[in-house]
């Protein structure tokens, strides 16, 4: 092999941080144009939910949950769900559309971006969107008087980490599916039951022991409990070790984030 040309030219490729950031900026630019249209349902959903629960179901449920009325008990879970679903939709349907119909990634791959850069940017974008929507719902909760702890200022951070975990998980799912309809399975069989058995509507510690263990093993429990910790305060968490939940969350975000980026990159190079 002739050593064709010594690489004397100045390095021209942007650093990995800039490369990942540029993907994020692309998504932000596309998204910011339609922000109001996109964010409105995300805000209205929890509003309807709280109204329905507070004015409807809540009136028939006079038990207290972890020392709170029904609507207040559910509020952190509602916020958690917003983050989880925002990230999950973005990294399944959103990613798929960019992959299949818009060839967004095809174009990016001809630039200094590597596939890992592309999906790391994707993951960061999911996390950002989760943080953003979580914050908006947080403001709604504030308006409804459901926020009692000053730690609620951490909502954007928790939203970011939660969305990163579930965005990573969703990217992993996307790396496996052959067809867009398969996402339906993920949402109805995977995510929905997770939400309802993870202490959104009732404290997990009221479940039979065996199911309790299962619930503690689910990522969603840690998400909901983490938000409960910063929104309702330590007096209202459902387990004494709730302080550990945010730590679990960070671990989940790191693991699933890595896995999702890794898997999607692998899919692209196949």
Partner 1 sequence: MTVIDLKNVTRKFGDLTAVRSVSLSMEKGICYALLGPNGAGKTTLSKMIGGVLPRHEGEMRVLGMDPWKMQSEVKAHLGVVMQSDALDDELNVLENLRIYGLFFWLKGRAFRERVAELLEFVSLTGREKMPTQALSGGMKRRLLIARALLSDPEILLLDEPTTGLDPQVRQVIWTTLRKLMEKGMTILLTTHYMEEASQLADRVGILDQGQLITEGSPTELIHRTLPSCVLEFDERESPGDAAVPDGSLVEHHGDRVYVFDDDETALRNWLGEHGISAPHLRQTSLEDVFLKLTGRGLHE
| Contacting positions for partner 1 (CB under 8 A) | 1-7, 9, 11-14, 18-19, 22-23, 25-26, 29-30, 102-104, 106-114, 117, 269
Question: Does residue 227 contact residue 79 with C-beta atoms inside 8 Å?
Answer: yes
Distance of alpha carbon 91 from alpha carbon 115, whole angstroms: 15
Could you tell me the two tokens for 218? 């689910």
Nearest to 91 by CA among 131, 119, 132: 119
Distance of alpha carbon 167 from alpha carbon 175, whole angstroms: 12
Taking the complex as a whole, how short is the minimal distance between the CB of residue 148 and partner 1, in angstroms? 41
Taking the complex as a whole, how short is the minimal distance between the CB of residue 17 and partner 1, in angstroms? 10
Taking the complex as a whole, how short is the minimal distance between the CB of residue 163 and partner 1, in angstroms? 21
Distance of alpha carbon 102 from alpha carbon 99, whole angstroms: 6
Q: Which is nearer to partner 1, 60 or 101 (CB)?
A: 101
Q: Which is nearer to partner 1, 30 or 143 (CB)?
A: 30
Nearest to 85 by CA among 42, 43, 124: 42
Q: Which is nearer to partner 1, 24 or 144 (CB)?
A: 24
Q: Which is nearer to partner 1, 5 or 178 (CB)?
A: 5
Distance of alpha carbon 119 from alpha carbon 260, whole angstroms: 8
Could you tell me the two tokens for 90? 């973005």
| Look-up of token digits 């947080």 | 138
Q: Which is nearer to partner 1, 9 or 240 (CB)?
A: 9
Taking the complex as a whole, how short is the minimal distance between the CB of residue 27 and partner 1, in angstroms? 10
Taking the complex as a whole, how short is the minimal distance between the CB of residue 78 and partner 1, in angstroms? 30
């Amino acid at each position: 092999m002739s050593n064709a040309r010594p690489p004397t030219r100045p390095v021209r490729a942007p650093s990995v941080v800039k490369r990942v950031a540029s993907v994020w900026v692309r998504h932000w630019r596309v998204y910011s144009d339609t922000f109001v249209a996109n964010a409105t349902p995300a805000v209205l959903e929890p509003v309807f939910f709280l109204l329905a629960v507070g004015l409807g179901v809540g009136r028939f449920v006079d038990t207290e949950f972890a020392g709170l009325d029904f609507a207040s008990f559910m509020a952190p879970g509602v916020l958690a769900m917003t983050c989880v679903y925002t990230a999950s939709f973005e990294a399944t349907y959103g990613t798929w559309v960019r992959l299949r119909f818009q060839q967004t990634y095809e174009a990016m791959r001809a630039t200094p971006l590597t596939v890992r850069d592309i999906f790391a940017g994707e993951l960061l974008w999911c996390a950002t969107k989760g943080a953003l929507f979580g914050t908006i719902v947080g403001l709604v909760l504030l308006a409804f008087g459901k926020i009692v702890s000053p730690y609620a200022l951490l909502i954007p951070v928790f939203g970011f980490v939660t969305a990163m975990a579930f965005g990573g998980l969703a990217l992993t799912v996307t790396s496996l599916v052959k067809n867009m309809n398969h996402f339906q399975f993920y949402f109805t069989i995977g995510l929905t039951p997770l939400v309802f058995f993870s202490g959104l509507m009732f404290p997990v510690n009221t479940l039979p022991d065996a199911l309790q263990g299962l619930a503690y093993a689910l990522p969603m429990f840690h998400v909901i409990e983490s938000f409960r910790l910063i929104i309702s305060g330590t007096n209202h968490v459902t387990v004494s070790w709730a302080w550990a939940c945010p730590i679990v969350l960070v671990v989940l975000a790191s693991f699933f984030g890595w896995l999702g980026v890794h898997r999607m990159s692998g899919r692209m190079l196949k």
